[in-house]
Structure 1
Amino acid sequence: MTLTGWPFLLLLGSIGLLCAVGTYLGWPRWPGRWALPGRAASLLLVMMLGAVIGLAEVNRSYGFYSSVSDLLGRPASARSLAVPAHPGAGPQVAVLTPDWAALGRRDGRHGHGLMLDVLYPGTRSGLTHHGLLYLPAAYFTGNLQRRFAAVEVFHGYPGSPETFPRIMNIQARLEAEIDAGRVPPVVLVIPQVYAGGQSSECVNAVHGEQWETYLSVDVLDDVIRTFRVDASRSWATLGVSTGGFCAVNIALHHPERYAAAASLSGYFTAGQDPGTPSLYQGARFASREDSPIWWVHYRTPVAPALFLSASGGDPDAMREALAMAATLRHFAPSLPTSTELVASGGHNWGVFSAAFGPAIDWIAQYLPGPLVAPPADLS
C-alpha cells in the first residue's frame, strides 16, 4: 500500500472515525480520577489523527513520499531483492505488475497501452528505486519484433513517478497524440529521481549518491535489456519543474544517447532546490558543470534539440526560460530549439499538463517510429 494512494487515505480516515466514535461513547464512562486524563488523552489522539490525515492528503496531492522507505530516507524498498538474475545478460527491470503481458494484450486490442509498476536496478550507481514504465498498444499488437523509441520522464521536487498518471493522466494524453498521428508509439520510462527529503537534482553528488549515472546509464541499459526498446540514439527526456532541470542537464551531458529534451517550467542553474548546494560540497566546477546555462555558454553544444516552456504566472520559470533561450541563441545557434511561453498560469500541474502535448509533439520529430530489427547473421 503506497502512501500516495486512496487506500492508505481511506484506512487513516476509518481509523480516525473509529477513534472519534470511541471518544464520544467513552466520554461519560471514564471512572473517577481517570476521567480527566482519559478524556484529555482521547481528545489528543483524535486531534493527532486529524493532523495525520491532513498531512497524508497533502502528501498524496504533492507526492512527497510514496512509501515508508521514502519517508524514512531509505534509498530503496525491500522489494529491491525481487530483482531477478539473468546470467550473461546483465540486470533487467523487475516488473511488479502481475500478468502484465496478458493485460497488455487485452488493453492493446482496444487501442490502449499499459502502465507497469517496476523496479529499476542500478549496478553502476548502486541505486535501486521504484518507478513506472508505459508500453504503448503497438508493443502488444502486430509485429512483435518491432523496437520502440523511449522518453524518460522526470518528476519534480517534491514528487514521485505516480504523480504523472494520477495528476497529469499522462497515459491518456500520450495516447491522444499517438491516435492523432502526431507522435509515434513510444515507451515512457518514469523513474524515481530522489530519495528521502532532499532533491538530488539528478546529478552525481560530490562524495555522494550517483543519480546521473543511475538515470542516464543504469535505467536506460536495463530497459533496453528488458523490453523491445531501441538501443540507438532514439531516447528523449521530458521533465516538470526540477524534473525539467534534470531533463535538460542529463540530455546535454549525454547527446550520444538522447536526441531531444523538454523542460516544462524548469530551471537551468544548479543548486536551486532547498538543500541542493550540499550536493556539490562547495566545488564550483561541479555546480557549473551541472548548470545547463553554463554548459551551453562554454561547451557550445550542437545536440540534443531542446524544448523550453514557461508561463507568465511563474516568474522564476519565465526568467530562467528567457535567459536560457538567449544563451542558446548567442552561444549555440545551430542547436535546434523551441521556446513556448504563455501569458498566464502559475507553477502547477494544470500548466504542466497543458504543455505536455506540444512538448511531446515537438520531441516526436526527433524520434524514429517503431523499427524492425534486422535479422541476426547466422553465417
Structure 2
Amino acid sequence: MGLTSRALEYTTALLTLMCVVLTVRFWPRLARRGPVAVLGRLGVITVTQLALLATCAVLVNARFDFYGSWDELLGHPPTTPGHVEESGGGGRVYASHGGLVQAAGLQGLDQVRGLPAGPPGKVGRVESVRILGRRSHAVNPAFVYLPPQYFQHQYHRQRFPVIVAISGYPGGIMNLARFLRVPQTAGRLEASGRMQPTVVVMVRPTIAPPRDTECVDVPGGPRAETFFTEDLPEALESAYRVGHDPSAWGALGYSSGGSCALQLALRDPKVYTSAAALSADYRVSEDLTTGNLFGSGARGARRQRGHDLVWRLRHLPVPRVSVLVASSRHGEPDYGPTMRFLGAVGPPMTSARVILPRGSHHFTTWRREIGPAMEWMGRQLTFPQDTTRHTTPGSTPHGSAQAAGRGR
C-alpha cells in the first residue's frame, strides 16, 4: 500500500471512523469512577485523536507530496540497481553512472488522468523515477515525460531538448501532472505541431522535505542549487538521450518553482539558457519553512543579495538567457515585482510575458498560462541537439547516454 495511494487514504479514514463509532458505543461503560475507567477514557481519546491525525497527515501528504514513498519517509537509502528495472508506470528506466536514475513506484501516477495510454511510439510515455544526486546526496522523486519521437526509429540517434518543470512549495510532482497537467499539455502541443519533441522532467523544488530549500545551497545544509545545476543534468544524461549543450535545457515552474526556474537561469546560464516562471518571486526570503538559508554576518547578506534577481540585473553582468514571466494585473500579488523585473531586463537577455487581466495564485490561473509558456519555451530550445554514436541492430533507443563528454 503506497504512501500516496488512495487505498491508504481510504484505510486511515475508515479506521478513524471506526474509532469514533467505537468511542460513542463504549463511552457509557467507561463513564464510571475509578482508575481503570479513567485510563480507559484517556486511552480511547488518545487512540481516536491519533487516528484522526494520521488521516490528516496522509491526506496532506497525498495533496502536497512531502514524501513519495515509505522508504523516503523512514529515511531508508534506495538501492542502486545495475540492470534494467520495470517502473510502476509500465515504462523502463535504464540506470547508469552508478544508478543515478532509478525506477520508482507509481508515486501517484494512477491518480492522474490524460496520461499517454498506448504504444509509446505513438503517444509517448510518462515514467515514475527517483533521481539520486551524486554531489548533493539528495534523493528526489520525479516524473519523466518522453515524447513519441523518442521511441521512433528515425530519431534513435538524436538527443532531445529538456524542460525541467518545478512544482511550488509545499507541493510535489503530483501537482505538476494532476493539476497543472504538464505532460498532458506537452503531448497536446507536440501533436498539434506547436512544440518540438521535448523531454520533460517534473521535480519538486525542495531536496530536504519538509524544509523549503528554495533552490539554494545552504551553508552546512542541503545543496539544492547543486542538485539542479549539476546532479540533475548528470543523472538525466546518464539515463536518457537528452542534449548536452545548455541551449537544449530550460527550467519552468509555478510559484516558488517559478522563482527557482528564474534563479537557475540567471545564476547558472551555462546550464539553463531559458526559464518560464508563473507567479514567481524575484528574490529569496527566509521564513519559518526555509530556516537560515544563507548563513550569518556580512557573508550571509552577500549570499542573500545574490539571490535577488533585480539586484543581479542592475549590478552584475547580464547573462545571455531568455525568460518568460506570467502574472495577472488584478488578483496576483506579484504583478508589481514582475513589472519591476521586466524593467530591469536588458541585452543580451531577452524577455517575454503572459499578463492576464485577472487571476489568482492558484492552478485555475496557472493552467491558463502553462500552454503559452511551454510553447514559448519550445521555441527557445535547440533540436536536434546532437546525435549518439551508431547503435547496434536490435538495441533499444532508450538507454544510457552514449555521446562522449558533456558540453557543460
Where does residue 307 of structure 1 map in the other structure?
A: 324
Give the 3-state SS of the residue equivalent to 1:129 in structure 2: strand
| Equivalent residue in structure 2 for 1:171, among 176, 183, 187 | 183
**TM-score w.r.t. structure 2 length?**
0.79
Give the 3-state SS of the residue equivalent to 1:312 in structure 2: strand
CA distance in 2, matches of 1:52, 1:205: 31
Match status 1:215 vs 2:212 = no
Match status 1:94 vs 2:108 = no
Contact 1:313–1:347 (CA under 8 A) maintained in structure 2: no
Contact 1:153–1:189 (CA under 8 A) maintained in structure 2: yes
Give the direction of change, closer, same or farther, for the CA distance of 1:125–1:39 in structure 2 (3 Å limit): closer
Displacement after TM superposition at 1:200 (Å): 0.6
Give the direction of change, closer, same or farther, for the CA distance of 1:165–1:87 in structure 2 (3 Å limit): closer
Contact 2:332–2:361 (CA under 8 A) maintained in structure 1: no
Give the direction of change, closer, same or farther, for the CA distance of 1:302–1:35 in structure 2 (3 Å limit): closer
Give the direction of change, closer, same or farther, for the CA distance of 1:163–1:104 in structure 2 (3 Å limit): closer
Give the direction of change, closer, same or farther, for the CA distance of 1:322–1:2 in structure 2 (3 Å limit): farther
Contact 1:105–1:140 (CA under 8 A) maintained in structure 2: no
Contact 1:151–1:189 (CA under 8 A) maintained in structure 2: yes
| Equivalent residue in structure 1 for 2:59, among 47, 52, 57 | 57
Displacement after TM superposition at 1:371 (Å): 5.5
Code of the aligned partner of 1:13: A
Give the 3-state SS of the residue equivalent to 1:132 in structure 2: strand
Give the direction of change, closer, same or farther, for the CA distance of 1:126–1:35 in structure 2 (3 Å limit): closer
Greater CA drift, 283-292 or 13-22: 13-22
| Equivalent residue in structure 2 for 1:196, among 200, 203, 209 | 209
Give the direction of change, closer, same or farther, for the CA distance of 1:266–1:45 in structure 2 (3 Å limit): same
Match status 1:183 vs 2:158 = no
Match status 1:126 vs 2:137 = yes
CA distance in 2, matches of 1:214, 1:66: 18
Where does residue 44 of structure 2 map in the other structure?
A: 42
Identity of aligned residues (%): 24
Code of the aligned partner of 1:175: G
**TM-score w.r.t. structure 1 length?**
0.85
Give the 3-state SS of the residue equivalent to 1:46 in structure 2: helix
User: Over residues 153-198 of structure 1, what are the superposed CA-to-partner deviations in whole Å (9 max), with x where a residue is unaligned?
Assistant: 1111111122211222222122111111111121111234322322
CA distance in 2, matches of 1:35, 1:125: 54
Where does residue 284 of structure 1 map in the other structure?
A: 301
Match status 1:320 vs 2:320 = no
Give the direction of change, closer, same or farther, for the CA distance of 1:96–1:296 in structure 2 (3 Å limit): same
Code of the aligned partner of 1:266: A
Pairs aligned (count): 365
Contact 1:97–1:116 (CA under 8 A) maintained in structure 2: no
Displacement after TM superposition at 1:39 (Å): 4.8
CA distance in 2, matches of 1:201, 1:296: 20
Contact 2:105–2:129 (CA under 8 A) maintained in structure 1: yes
Code of the aligned partner of 1:145: R
CA distance in 1, matches of 2:163, 2:14: 40
| Equivalent residue in structure 2 for 1:135, among 123, 146, 157 | 146
Match status 1:260 vs 2:274 = yes
Match status 1:251 vs 2:262 = no
Match status 1:5 vs 2:5 = yes
Displacement after TM superposition at 1:246 (Å): 0.8
Contact 2:63–2:171 (CA under 8 A) maintained in structure 1: no
| Equivalent residue in structure 2 for 1:236, among 205, 227, 250 | 250
Displacement after TM superposition at 1:128 (Å): 2.6
Greater CA drift, 62-71 or 287-296: 62-71
Contact 2:82–2:96 (CA under 8 A) maintained in structure 1: no
| Equivalent residue in structure 1 for 2:124, among 89, 104, 113 | 113
CA distance in 1, matches of 2:73, 2:389: 48
Contact 1:80–1:129 (CA under 8 A) maintained in structure 2: no
Where does residue 338 of structure 1 map in the other structure?
A: 352
Give the 3-state SS of the residue equivalent to 2:100 in structure 1: coil
Give the direction of change, closer, same or farther, for the CA distance of 1:2–1:159 in structure 2 (3 Å limit): farther
Where does residue 81 of structure 1 map in the other structure?
A: 79
Match status 1:18 vs 2:22 = no
CA distance in 1, matches of 2:133, 2:45: 47
Runs of 4 or more above 6 Å deviation: 85-88
| Equivalent residue in structure 2 for 1:294, among 290, 308, 311 | 311
Q: Structure 2 stretches of 5 or more lacking a match?
A: 84-93, 107-114, 391-408
Structure with more of its chain in helix, by fraction: 1
Give the direction of change, closer, same or farther, for the CA distance of 1:372–1:270 in structure 2 (3 Å limit): closer
Q: Structure 1 stretches of 5 or more lacking a match?
A: none
Match status 1:365 vs 2:379 = yes
Give the direction of change, closer, same or farther, for the CA distance of 1:286–1:373 in structure 2 (3 Å limit): same
Displacement after TM superposition at 1:25 (Å): 4.5
